[in-house]
Amino acid sequence: MKLRAIVAAVLLTAACSPGGGAGGGGDGKSFEFWSFSAINQKASVEAYKQKRPEVEVKLTEVGNAQETAQALTTALAGGKVPDLVLIQGDDLPKFVEQPQNFVDLKTLGADDIKGDYLDWVMAQSVAKDGQILGIPTDVGGMAMAYRTDLFAEAGLPTDRESVGKLWPDWDAFIETGKRYTEKTGKPFVDNAATSVFYQAVNQGTQKYYDDKRELVYSTNPQVRVAFDLGVKAAQAGITAKQSSFAEGWSAAMAQSGFAVLAAPSWMLNSIRSNAPATAGKWDLAAVPGRSGNWGGSYLAIPARAKNPQAAWDYIRTMQSPQSQLDHFVTSGALPTTPSVYQDPKLTARTEPFFSDAPIGTLYPQSLLGLKPFYIGPDSTTIGTEFLNAITNVEQNNGNPATAWDDAVRNIKTAIGK
């Protein structure tokens, strides 16, 4: 079944099934779990069933992260809700604004475990009145994945330490791209929007909202600097013009269509699956600016869930520090539990597909320089319009001189402010 068809089926079920009524009332031996696709949540469910074989987990991979959030929004409006749902970090704020739609996990024991997680990650799931609405599953520490064979052809260094020194900042990254493209005549990086702008904007101390939760997307100089870097990369002639996760992007990765892409820890699975024949040709270097985060998700329980206790048992079991460590070893998803960051299972972890890159130290180190900023209910919409404006310059000959104003105007139309 195609992605759109899956989403349509879930939305139809949500709209036409009878509401779940007050929370509870289920059998306690099963629960319905909505996840988004492309992250192999099935593996986590199978691991849980080995621990709790008596529990039936009804997993539905709804669609991508945004489609899953939309399906949840529809269900919360009156349809049949799942017992457990995975929500991407960027989509979480709009749900935190409506805490009545979710179980306050403190009532199930979240106070006992909240200290296990990075405080700035945990803070994103705490509502204004202190309710804990989600438990973090992973965090997206950053690196840049690069093709050692293609770098060698361009006369660039190939060892990860030297490569990292090529780009201490984003301007140097773009200049490296120019050197590569001038030497080879080939694209350097997959795209300017996600591999440059999105990474740079996430390295700031503020993003689209200030510390008082007021919108500052059009006045924050850190956002403008990141946006201008994205436009600069789009104009530099160094990109493959392949939007992340599109079919062309996957094909270009397999066909050596670009040499570099931004790679949070969870991206490694995408590279392995899209380009299996390139094993051993990739390596990982520090991201420009040396720190960064892309992604991360949370598990939440809707207020009308029929089996909240069964869902909570899954959360507590599968998101414990030990379970997050085990998941990192098998999948590369970076734990949100800093107590395991010095565990030899993590620090000694290397990745053979990526030239034995030391992912167990490289990714945690990328989190150290980050300063938390507030992510608001319209952050995803705002970010999407900025990404679209840069992509328009890159792929559609959009005017770089008006790209910022175009983006701001589109944002105001989209969110009404």
In the chain, count of helices (H) and strands (E)?
A: 18, 8
Neighbour count for residue 108 (Cβ, 10 Å):
18
Residue 252 tokens, joined: 């270009």
Non-local CB neighbours of 298 within 8 Å, separated by 6+ positions: 86, 87, 89, 92, 124, 125, 133, 134, 135, 136, 137
Q: What is the DSSP string of 130-171?
A: S-B--EEEEEEE--EEEEHHHHHHTT---SHHHHHHH-SSHH
**pLDDT score of 206:** 94
How far is it, in rounded angstroms, from Cα 333 to Cα 85? 18
pLDDT digits (tens, 9 = 90+) for 344-355: 999 999 999 999
Closest by Cα among 10, 50, 31 to 310: 31
- Residue of 2 and 229 predicted with greater confidence: 229
Q: Which helix (H) or strand (E) holds 253?
A: helix 247-254
Closest by Cα among 331, 387, 403 to 202: 387
Inform me whether the pLDDT recorded for 12 exceeds 80: no
Inform me whether the pLDDT recorded for 166 exceeds 70: yes
**pLDDT score of 20:** 36
Q: What is the identity of the amino acid at 57?
A: V
**pLDDT score of 37:** 85
Inform me whether the pLDDT recorded for 64 exceeds 50: yes
Mean pLDDT of all residues belonging to the chain? 91
**Which residue stretches of 38-138 are H helix?**
41-51, 65-76, 92-96, 119-122
Strand 260-262 relative to strand 84-88, pairing: unpaired
Asked if 173 contacts 238 with a C-beta cutoff of 8 angstroms, the reply is no
CA dihedral sign, ordered 261, 265, 269, 270:
negative
pLDDT digits (tens, 9 = 90+) for 244-258: 989 999 999 999 999
pLDDT digits (tens, 9 = 90+) for 74-96: 999 988 999 999 999 989 999 99
CA distances from 254 to 246, 257, 259 (A): 13, 7, 11
CA dihedral sign, ordered 93, 318, 10, 62:
positive
Residue with tokens 């909505």: 34
CA distances from 240 to 89, 258, 262, 317, 381 (A): 28, 6, 13, 42, 25
The neighbouring-strand residues paired with 84 are 33
How far is it, in rounded angstroms, from Cα 261 to Cα 189? 6
Strand 135-141 relative to strand 144-147, pairing: unpaired
**pLDDT score of 391:** 98
Q: What is the identity of the amino acid at 408?
A: V
Q: 9 falls in which pLDDT band (50, 70, 90)?
A: very low
How far is it, in rounded angstroms, from Cα 379 to Cα 51? 38
**pLDDT score of 23:** 58
Domains assigned to the chain:
3-140+295-347 (3.40.190.10), 142-293+356-415 (3.40.190.10)
Q: 332 falls in which pLDDT band (50, 70, 90)?
A: confident
Q: CA geometry: angle at 194 spanning 193 and 196, to 5°?
A: 75
Q: Which helix (H) or strand (E) holds 329?
A: helix 321-331
Burial 312-334 (b: 16+ CB within 10 A, else e): bbbbbebbebebbbbbbeebbbb
Inform me whether the pLDDT recorded for 5 exceeds 70: no
Mean pLDDT of the 330-349 span: 91
The neighbouring-strand residues paired with 260 are 146, 189
Q: CA geometry: angle at 66 spanning 297 and 308, to 5°?
A: 55
Asked if 200 contacts 291 with a C-beta cutoff of 8 angstroms, the reply is no
Residue 45 CB burial class (10 angstroms; 0-12, 13-18, ≥19): middle
